[in-house]
Structures are given as C-alpha cells and as structure tokens.
C-alpha cells in the first residue's frame, strides 16, 4: 500500500492496541461476571479499561458504557432517550447531515409518533445558532448534533445547545455523536454541555466491534437489549473483553489533542498547497473544518472512476461515508452542492500516523489522473 488516506472510515490499529487485544485473548479470557479467579481477573481488567476510556473522554468511570460501536451507541442514545422521556414531549431536533446511524434512528422514531426536526445547514455544512433556537421548544425531549462531520469535517456548534435548552426551559436530553472528533478535538462532556456522548474504538487506532456511550449521572435511557445485568442493564450481554482491552489501550495511547492537531494540520496544509495549482479541483470542506478530513471534487472525473484509478496505485481514499456504500452524498446535497461536485467528490482523511510522503503520492496520482482520465473520455 502506497498511501492509506481513508482514516475516517477506519484507522489501522496501533501497536499498543494489538498487544492489549492479544493479551486479553490469551490471559484474561474469563467471563467478567463469573465469581471464580478467571472471572475476577477479567472483571478487574474491565474496570481498568472503563477507567482508561473515561479518562480519555473526560468523565467518571461509572458514566461509561461499552457497546459494539458507534452505531449501537447512537441508537441507544437516541431511541433510549426518546422512549425514556416520551411523556415529557414528542419533539426531537437533529441536523440533516448526521451519520446514518442517527438518521435511521430518528426515522424509526418518527414512525412511532415522534416529531423530528431536521435542521438545514449552510454552504459550510454548519447548523446556525438561530435555527437551533427556533427549533427547540418546550416539547423538545432530545437534541442530537454531531461534533464533527464524517464527510467534510465541519465542526458543529454543540456548546450553544445547552444554553438554548436552558433558556427555553425544554426537558431535552442532549446527545453528541463524537465518533469523528474523539481524540482529535476536546470533547469532554462537561465542556460541551452534553448528557450523552458517542465514541468508537476503530476511529482511534483500536479494534472494530467496540465503542462506548457516555451517560451523565441521572440521565434516563431505555435499554434496547434485554438480558443480564452487564453494563448496569443498559447494554446486557457478556462484555467483549479482547476488543474492550484494545479500545482502552488505544485510548491510553492517544497523544495530547494539541499535539496531534498541530501535526495533522501540517499534513492537511501540504495537501491544500498541492491542490492550489489544480484549477479543476474544488475544496468542499470549510476552511475551519477538522483538519483530519478534506473533501474535494475533481471536475470531469466521476468518484468511482477516480477511486479505481487511485486504488490501482495503492492509494486508499473514499467518495464519502463508508456506510453509504457508493450512494451520492446527502451531506454535500444538504450543503447546496450541485451534481457535478457531488458525483466527483473524494474524501481524504488523515491520522496522526499519516506521512507527508503519502500526501505527495496522492498529489502525484491526482495530477496523473487529471491528465489521463479526462483525455481518455
């Protein structure tokens, strides 16, 4: 592989995570709910992992609940909060550019009689504070807004939601999908003013199949699954200790946000500098976007054609969210982009392990594609 630049889809596991996952598989394979020695050792590891993830989020250990990943955490947060609070109101406020796990959850709730307001976004993909204020009323029981968009990197104004909810007197629980922002921005729940916060392991160089939901003390959620008493009955089922251990190790290995942000900003700027000489390339991400994600359109070359061209050269990028599986981006559509931009869009996404050489490899290939693919049409 010449260049892996699809880190918003998933990140390569770090050495610490791989070692911890293997250690849990071979040494701590007991059931954490069992009362014998193997179970007690696994339970001690589980407790340590919960503390590690809590420390990375910026909350108390008993506010962290392990799930199978970001999708389940988002479903649990949204459906669980709506059902727990349905006697207090019926309105849910979210945006038109949320992850599919949020959008599909709210659509399911609409079918059950809830009113869902999908806030529009501007050309930068951002929700306005004014529209938030108009949408939130005393019947609002849930507001769900992502921290950073997974396709274009737009950072949403999460911190203003609490102020609006308090001013209006709404009984709203506030949820933030922080999957793309965790480890990249400061997403401490107290700082953001949120009650629920979703994070995922495989976006921070941990294993797939595990995530977590922060639930502020006192916040009520209805479980989606029923069974044993694991995760305080909020998410029953035997805890997947190997991947939880890998998740915790990846969280422990996260460098300070400012350090990673400074490095990745340099990587992003190298890409943007190289793109400036390409007149047929449009930047779709806003200037103040999370620097880990750059969305561009290369006019005249369909996304699928470009992806195949780059893949043949060992370069991995995407045309948008991995969950969309090739469908045209509703995020770019909501931002007001036209068909020519949407059908030629590419998402380039970085991690703290991305090298400048990978960026140069991509730039060289993009230049080659512009000369080769356009001429051959």
**Residues labelled as active-site residues:** 323
How many angstroms separate the CA atoms of 264 and 272, rounded? Answer: 12
Residue whose C-alpha is closest to residue 99's, from 78, 82, 115: 78
State the virtual CA torsion across 20, 45, 351, 123 in degrees, nearest 10.
150
Residue whose C-alpha is closest to residue 206's, from 17, 4, 70, 9: 17
How many angstroms separate the CA atoms of 351 and 292, rounded? Answer: 7
Provide the token pair at 122: 């501007």
Q: How far is CA 100 from CA 95, 103, 188, 214, in A?
A: 11, 5, 23, 20
**CB hemisphere CA count around 200 (13 angstroms):** 24
Contact in structure between 363 and 278 (CB atoms under 8 Å): no
Reported as type and span, the H/E element at residue 211 is: strand 211-215
How many angstroms separate the CA atoms of 340 and 316, rounded? Answer: 22
Residue 107 DSSP label: H
Give the 3-state secondary structure of residue 265.
helix
DSSP 113-152: T-EEEEE---TTS---HHHHHHH--TTEEEEE--SB-TTT
């Amino acid at each position: 592989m010449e260049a892996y630049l699809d880190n918003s889809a998933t990140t390569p596991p770090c050495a610490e995570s791989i070692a911890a996952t293997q250690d849990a598989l071979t040494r701590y394979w007991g059931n954490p709910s069992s009362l014998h020695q193997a179970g007690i050792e696994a339970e001690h590891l589980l407790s340590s992992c919960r503390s590690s993830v809590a420390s990375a989020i910026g909350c108390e250990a008993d506010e962290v609940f392990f799930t199978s990943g970001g999708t389940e955490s988002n479903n649990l947060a949204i459906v669980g909060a709506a059902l727990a609070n349905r006697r207090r109101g019926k309105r849910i406020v979210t945006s038109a550019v949320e992850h599919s796990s949020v959008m599909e959850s709210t659509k399911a709730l609409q079918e059950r009689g809830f009113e869902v307001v999908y806030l529009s976004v501007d050309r930068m993909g951002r929700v306005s504070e004014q529209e938030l204020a108009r949408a939130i009323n005393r019947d609002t029981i849930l507001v769900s807004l992502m921290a950073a968009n997974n396709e274009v990197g737009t950072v949403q104004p999460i911190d203003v939601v609490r102020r609006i909810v308090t001013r209006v007197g709404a009984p709203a629980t506030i949820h933030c999908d922080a999957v793309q922002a965790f480890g990249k921005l400061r997403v401490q729940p107290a700082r953001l003013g949120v009650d629920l916060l979703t994070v995922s392991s495989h976006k921070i160089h941990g294993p797939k199949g595990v995530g977590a939901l922060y639930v502020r003390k006192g916040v009520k959620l209805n479980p989606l699954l029923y069974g044993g008493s694991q995760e305080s009955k909020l998410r029953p089922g035997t805890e997947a200790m190997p991947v939880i251990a890998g998740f915790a190790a990846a969280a422990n290995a996260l460098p300070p946000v400012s350090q990673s942000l400074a490095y990745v900003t340099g990587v992003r700027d190298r890409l943007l500098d190289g793109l400036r000489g390409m007149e047929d390339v449009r930047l779709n991400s806003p200037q103040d976007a999370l620097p880990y994600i750059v969305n561009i359109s290369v006019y005249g070359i369909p996304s699928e054609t470009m992806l195949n061209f780059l893949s043949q050269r060992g370069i991995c990028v995407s045309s948008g969210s991995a969950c969309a599986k090739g469908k045209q981006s509703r995020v770019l559509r909501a931002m007001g982009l036209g068909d020519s931009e949407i059908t030629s869009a590419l998402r380039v996404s970085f991690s703290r392990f991305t090298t400048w050489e990978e960026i140069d490899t991509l730039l060289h290939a993009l230049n080659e594609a512009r000369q080769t693919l356009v001429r051959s049409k």
